[in-house]
Amino acid sequence: MDTLTHWIAGEPVESASGRFSPVHNPATGEQIARTALATTEEVDRAVAVATEAAASWRATSLSGRTQVMFRFRDLVDANRDLLAETLTREHGKVLSDSMGEINRGLENIEYACGVPQLLKGEYSEQAATNLDVYSIRQPLGVVAGITPFNFPTMVPMWMFPNAIACGNAFILKPSEKDPSTSLIMARLLQEAGLPDGVFNIIQGDKVAVDAILEHPGIAAVSFVGSTPIARYVYETGTRAGKRVQALGGAKNHMVVLPDADLDMAADAAVSAAYGSAGERCMAISVLVAVGGIGDDLIEAIKSRIPDVKVGDGTDPESEMGPLITREHCERVGSYLDHGRSEGATVVVDGREQSFDSGGFFLGASLIDDVTTEMKVYADEIFGPVLSVVRVDTYEEALALINDNHYGNGTAIYTRDGGAARQFQFDVEAGMVGINVPIPVPVAYYSFGGWNDSLFGDLHMYGPDGIRFYTRTKVVTSRWPDPATSRVDLGFPQTN
Ligand code: NAD
């Protein structure tokens, strides 16, 4: 069985820990590999290597760094099939979805190719007589990324292309559940000409994460994962003096106003709730039916569920794959029992669909009459379970979202431009879709939620990504005639 290794100083490195975590093919239930789990000393080694590499990488010209990014972009493009097949084998999502993930990752590399433009500073000539002031953006040094299982290729690409293009060295700690595509990316970066040591991978669990958070040689940490761990990473990392951005979980509401096209809204709800088996932080998990449309909307969604083809992600016919592990699959399924016992109506129970592959499959599920006190509403389920909450008015729908402790994405379906604009103004969430169910920002904006969906000040990738991975230096400069020099104890004036 393959053992997935670290990647340090441009080569695979075995772990001495003797600890491993299993990697499954979720479509068959088979264990297909194991991930080495790092020791603290292995993190120390990666930081030492990255520190040395960062010193010369930051001195590499902007055009030199850009050329590496362009070559990397082309190599990822040329290796899409390999990346997508590897991703589907370990994660389970269908191949077309893996391709979609890689495409969105590529957009982030393309953004990083524009780094010379993005790092331009400001210049004020003659800020005072014969005195100029200018600002420059410099890299932080060694930065780290800790990523979740659900986008093992795209989420690292939200981080490292910008970090590296800005002149930092990067240490990635991928999810231990599906780390193989990160190793492919490491090889492609090397092939693109990135000097060894600028990009490193540490495989691991809490031991590796804690070593990263405490290490004095790491200046900043980007994290994406569940809210409890995001909070922990933010608190621990900032206490250790680091810059931290930690993106957490979500409960994304899609509001359907009575004037919406119900077929379009039902298509969107089914796509956004069940795509990638609901294992997306931007998945719609709560549908808010406003006014008297509840029955018709539920009927429209229910009628579409039998057509969702659930199966092995490598089968081109499949539209929805399995969940990541058996435990997670069972946990997600158990919410249908919680819902029933708390008084909700289980309209479709995905456990009634039978699958004979041994994989971690659960059919698309639908729960009606959900209220805010119920566990199915309160928890992030992270699976193909859509809850429907019925309300009478727009105001009630809005209050539902704004009272929720998450604030990642949200969407509204309506034909009324005024209502949509009001929603955009009123709603407390970081990303809003107007007739767009999964409003993941393009790479030249930044991604991030509000409230318990993000800890930190800056969102991820795009302009905020460049700000996160650099620090600003302001230079005040003059070239006076030494003959005019004199002692002056007064505070500098801008005359
Ligand atoms: P997770 O929080 O379990 O794991 C994320 C990372 O943290 C992994 O690398 C993991 O090894 C590490 N980790 C896990 N437990 C830890 C612990 N106790 N101490 C230190 N590190 C630990 O998340 P996951 O299950 O891999 O991913 C799913 C979650 O990620 C969902 O909650 C989803 O909403 C969220 N997510 C959020 C976004 C976003 O942009 N906001 C994007 C993708 C996923």
How many beta carbons lie within 10 A of that of residue 457, not counting itself? 12
Residues shown for the chain: 495
DSSP 110-157: HHHTTHHHHT--EEEEEEETTEEEEEEEEE-SEEEEE--SSSTTHHHH
Q: Are 382 and 376 in contact (CB under 8 A)?
A: no
- What gap in Å lies between CA 318 and CA 309, rounded to an integer? 5
CATH superfamily, region 2-248+453-475: Aldehyde Dehydrogenase; Chain A, domain 1 (3.40.605.10)
- 480 vs 261, 485, 493, 495, CA distance in Å? 70, 8, 16, 15
The CB of 448 under 6 Å from ligand 1? The reply is: no
Query: What is the pairing mode between strands 2-4 and 31-36?
Result: parallel
Closest ligand 1 atom, residue 151 Cα: 43
Known catalytic membership, residue 166: no
SS3 content of the chain, % helix, strand, coil (to 5): 40, 20, 35
Residue 125's contacts (CB-CB under 8 Å, 6 or more residues apart) are 132
CB contact at 8 A, 428 and 451:
yes
The per-residue DSSP string of 303-348 comes to HHGGGS-BS-TTSTT-SB---S-HHHHHHHHHHHHHHHHTT-EEEE
Domain boundaries, the chain: 2-248+453-475, 252-434
Burial (CB < 10 A; 0-12, 13-18, 19+), residue 329, is buried
Query: Is the Cβ atom of 159 under 6 angstroms away from ligand 1?
Result: no
Residue 248 Cα to ligand 1 middle (Å): 7
Q: What is the pLDDT of residue 494?
A: 81
CA of 422 to the centre of ligand 1 (A): 33
Ramachandran region, residue 354 (left: φ > 0; alpha: ψ -120 to 50; beta: rest):
beta
Residue 245's DSSP bridge partners are 222
Would you say the CB of residue 229 lies under 6 angstroms from ligand 1? yes
- The response to whether residue 408 sits with its C-beta less than 6 Å from ligand 1 reads yes
CB 364 within 8 A of CB 358: no
465 within ligand 1 shell (Cβ under 6 A)? no
| Catalytic residue selected from 113, 166, 281, 329 | 281
What are the φ/ψ torsions at residue 465 (nearest 5 degrees)? -60, -45
Q: Are 331 and 34 contacting, i.e. CB atoms less than 8 angstroms apart? A: no
Ligand 1 mean position to 148 CA, how many Å?
Answer: 4
Give the distance (Å) from ligand 1 centre to CA of residue 473: 34
Element (H, E) at 102: helix 95-112
**300 half-sphere exposure, CB direction, 13 A CA radius:** 20
- If phi > 0 it is left, if psi is from -120 to 50 it is alpha, else beta; for residue 197 that is left
List, in sequence order, every residue forming a beta bridge with 195; answer none if it has no partner: none
Q: Which of 101, 108, 149 to mutate to test the pocket of ligand 1 (most atoms within 8 A of CB)?
A: 149
Ligand 1, residue 324: give the atom nearest the CA.
25
Q: Would you state the pLDDT for residue 377?
A: 98
| Nearest residue by C-alpha to atom 30 in ligand 1 | 225
Ligand 1: nearest atom to the Cα of 230: 2
Query: Radius of gyration (Cα) for the chain, nearest Å?
Result: 25
CATH topology assigned to domain 252-434: Aldehyde Dehydrogenase; Chain A, domain 2 (3.40.309)
Tokens 């650099």 belong to which residue? 470
Query: What is the DSSP annotation of 249-303?
Result: ---EEEEE-TTS-HHHHHHHHHHHHHGGGG-STT-EEEEEEEGGGHHHHHHHHHH
Nearest atom in ligand 1 to the alpha carbon of residue 227 is: 32
- Residue located via tokens 């970090």: 163
The CB of 409 under 6 Å from ligand 1? The reply is no
CA of 88 to the centre of ligand 1 (A): 19
Residue 92 amino acid letter: G
| Tokens of residue 6, six digits | 């670290």
Q: Give residue 357's pLDDT.
A: 84
- The reply to whether ligand 1 has any atom less than 6 angstroms from the CB of 149 is yes
**How many other C-beta atoms lie within 10 A of the C-beta of residue 104?**
19
Q: What gap in Å lies between CA 113 and CA 161, rounded to an integer?
A: 8
C-alpha separations of 445 from 64, 149, 310, 441, 466 in Å: 25, 23, 33, 6, 11
Atom number, ligand 1, closest to the C-alpha of residue 248: 41
Residue 127 and residue 462 in contact, taking contact as beta carbons nearer than 8 Å: no
Bridge partners of 132, per DSSP, are 477
Helix 294-304 with 262-274: angle, nearest 10 deg? 50
Q: Which residues pair with 124 in a beta bridge?
A: 133
Please list the residues that pair with 477 across neighbouring strands. Answer: 132
pLDDT per residue, tens digit, the chain (495 aa), is 899 999 999 999 999 999 999 999 999 999 999 999 999 999 999 999 999 999 999 999 999 999 999 999 999 999 999 999 999 999 999 999 999 999 999 999 999 999 999 999 999 999 999 999 999 999 999 999 999 999 999 999 999 999 999 999 999 999 999 999 999 999 999 999 999 999 999 999 999 999 999 999 999 999 999 999 999 999 999 999 999 999 999 999 999 999 999 999 999 999 999 999 999 999 999 999 999 999 999 999 999 999 999 999 999 999 999 999 999 999 999 999 999 999 999 999 999 998 888 999 999 999 999 999 999 999 999 999 999 999 999 999 999 999 999 999 999 999 999 999 999 999 999 999 999 999 999 999 999 999 999 999 999 999 999 999 999 999 999 999 999 999 999 998 888
CA angle, corner 291, sides to 429 and 252, nearest 5?
A: 25
Instruction: Give the integer Cα–Cα distance in Å for 456 and 446.
Output: 14
3-state secondary structure of 84: helix
